[in-house]
Amino acid sequence: MKINSPFVEKVLCAFIKEELSKFHYSKGIIGLSGGLDSSVCAFLAAKALGPKNVLGLILPYRETFSEDVKDARSVARRLGIHLRLIDIAPMVDTYFSRFPTRDKVRIGNKMARERMSILYDFSAREKALILGTSNKTELLIGYGTIHGDMACAINPLGDLYKTQIRELAAYLGVPEKLLAKKPTAGLWPGQTDEGEIGLSYEEVDQILFQLVDSRQTPEAAVATGFARESVEKIVSLIRNSEFKRKMPPIAKISSRTVGHDFLYPYDRNR
Amino acid sequence: MRISLAQVSPRLGDLQKNFELHRYFIQKAKKKKADLIVFPELSLTGYTLMDMVQEVGLNPAEDPLFKRLKALSREIDIILGFVEEKEPGLFYNSAAYLSKGQILHIHRKVFLPTYGMFEEGKFFAPGKNFRPFAASFGKTGLMICRDFLSFGAGYLLFVGGAEVIIIISAAPGRGFSDEGGFATSRMWELMGEALSFFSSSFVVYANRVGFEDGKAFAGGSFVYNPLGHLIAKAPAVDEQMIIADLDLEEVRSARKKWPFKRDDRPELLLQALQRIVHEDED
């Protein structure tokens, strides 16, 4: 599972640069949470595009002076990228004042989609493409909000497990404080990814690596020493989140159909 | 014989832009006094074409763009990759060898990878042959990407008398390695080293770089001499043209030292193969 960080940095920077230039963009935009993934993405983007071509948007709910906001600011300052802070509370509160709920997941998802909506508007406003920050762990276990934090124009981090992102972050010089932070989706105060998933990222990633990269059966993963219930949990998370990794199915009734047999690459004519 | 490998990144589905890319590197190779320039697989069209295969396919005998490419080969030999519409509606992943304004040879990719991230069998018809041909500097065999990973294909070129084996490729990189570069790059070098040594031939591998739909093409183009020594290598990821000087005399000296060619028994292998293939039939 070990990565070669200098090479990974080189490839991902080349990817960001080439993909943007193909679509005639020179600027990238990133939602900065103060967490590790968006910080790593900002480091890569600043290197690939030049700091003046990167805009970090900090989109907190109310707590505009929280530790996370401070961390996001310090990353932006250190890299010299542009920065804007927009409090999403007015939009989110307006909605939930009409449809009140205590369901933390609904509220968290709504916030993630509010952030997405602002990022996309800023993408048009600033003529900048959105760089995604969903990592391989999240994509595989479906730990993300569909059309929320999973939405982006390109995703440089989607083939790196969380623990690999830590390795890359250390190499890139991401501040120690961010490396030590407990990962959180920020759905509600005090939430942590590992608390919610019920396993550490080290465990999750090693199990995923066996199942996905090494194409092992769940039985084989158990045989190498992982707890059966952990493996089964991961297997079921993967199975139940396929819809987050695909375009929605289109009912095929004609002779040639988008997604079925009208098949073109994303980079068509680029 | 001076050979130049253009490790480039074509634009997906844009023939005109890619023609310009070829012309630019051909001029560059001419300035370096190269006798031959090798472009990667599907250099004229890009790789991840999918349904665009039917839109960018051309018949090299009639196509006006190809006519201009042939004209460029008057002063330097050119190997390039393109989608060939050999017969109406039949599309091949092809490599053309252009020389002195003419098409000297066309190889059609035989092994079309269709698994995992690869879908070539869905869009291309498979070629059927591995036939060495006489280039101005010596007998030459062509393969395209996955062809090279079949040791049978390399063997056929060896038996056919190839002294220079040239592979054009669009191989995406996968996995990490300690040395830097992608882990899969080693696979190509391993075959390059083995085939060059055991066939006592030059092996020239021209891969592409750039990204298509997130796939990173691995670059790392190389040349091995007939004793299995690496004599030129391009970096991973970066667009670059590299030059190598091939002394065809080395084929003779390698074959004097290691008589693999002399001792080969293709007729025995043919009989054995026929037995195996017939016995194994369902």
* % of chain B beyond a pLDDT of 70: 99
Q: Measure CB to CB from residue A268 to each of B13, B173, B236 and give the nearest one.
A: B13
User: Which long-range contacts does A238-241 make (Cβ < 8 Å, 24+ apart)?
Assistant: A238/A140, A238/A141, A238/A142, A238/A208, A238/A211, A238/A212, A240/A142, A241/A140, A241/A141, A241/A142
Q: Considering only CB atoms, which chain A residues are within 8 Å of B9? A: 18
pLDDT in tens, A91-105: 999 999 999 999 999
Query: With pLDDT > 70 as the criterion, what percentage of chain A qualifies?
Result: 100
- Does the pLDDT at position A184 exceed 80? yes
Instruction: Determine the average pLDDT of the residues in A200-211.
Output: 97
Interface test with A, best of B211, B213, B215, B239 (most A CBs within 10 A): B211
Set of chain A residues whose Cβ sits within 8 Å of the Cβ of B13? 268-269
- Residue in B with minimal Cα distance to A3: B176
Residue B280 confidence (pLDDT): 67
Residues of chain A in contact with residue B14, where contact means CB-CB under 8 angstroms, are 269
Beta strands in chain A (DSSP E): 27-32, 54-58, 82-85, 128-130
pLDDT at B254 over 70: yes
Spatial CB neighbours of A236, under 8 Å, sequence gap ≥ 6:
none
The chain-wide mean pLDDT, for chain B, equals 96
User: What is the per-residue pLDDT across A103-133, written as a single tens digit (0 to 9) for each?
Assistant: 999 999 999 999 999 999 999 999 999 999 9
pLDDT of amino acid A68? 94
pLDDT above 80 (res A193) = yes
Q: Are the beta carbons of B216 and A262 separated by less than 8 Å? A: no
ipTM value: 0.94
User: What one-letter code names the amino acid at A258?
Assistant: V
Tell me the average pLDDT of chain A: 96
Give the start-to-end residue ranges of the domains of chain B. Answer: 2-279
- State mean pLDDT over A57-71: 93
Name which of A3, A263, A270 is nearest B51 (Cβ-Cβ).
A263
Size of interface A-B (CB pairs under 8 A): 56
B2-279 CATH choice from 3.60.110.10, 3.40.1280.10, 3.90.1150.10, 3.90.700.10: 3.60.110.10
Considering chain B, what percentage of its residues have pLDDT values greater than 90? 95
Contact A265 B52 (CB under 8 A): yes
- Of A9-13, A64-68, A220-224, the one with minimum mean pLDDT is A64-68
Percentage of the residues of chain A whose pLDDT score is greater than 90 = 93
The superfamily CATH assigns to domain A5-184 is HUPs (3.40.50.620)
- Average pLDDT for B57-86: 97
Domain extent listing, chain A: 5-184
Is the Cβ pair A267, B210 closer than 8 Å? no
Q: What digits encode the pLDDT tens for the residues A14-52? A: 999 999 999 999 999 999 999 999 999 999 999 999 999
CB-nearest to A10 from B11, B177, B237 is: B237
Nearest CA in chain A to B181: A7
Query: How high is the pLDDT of residue A14?
Result: 97
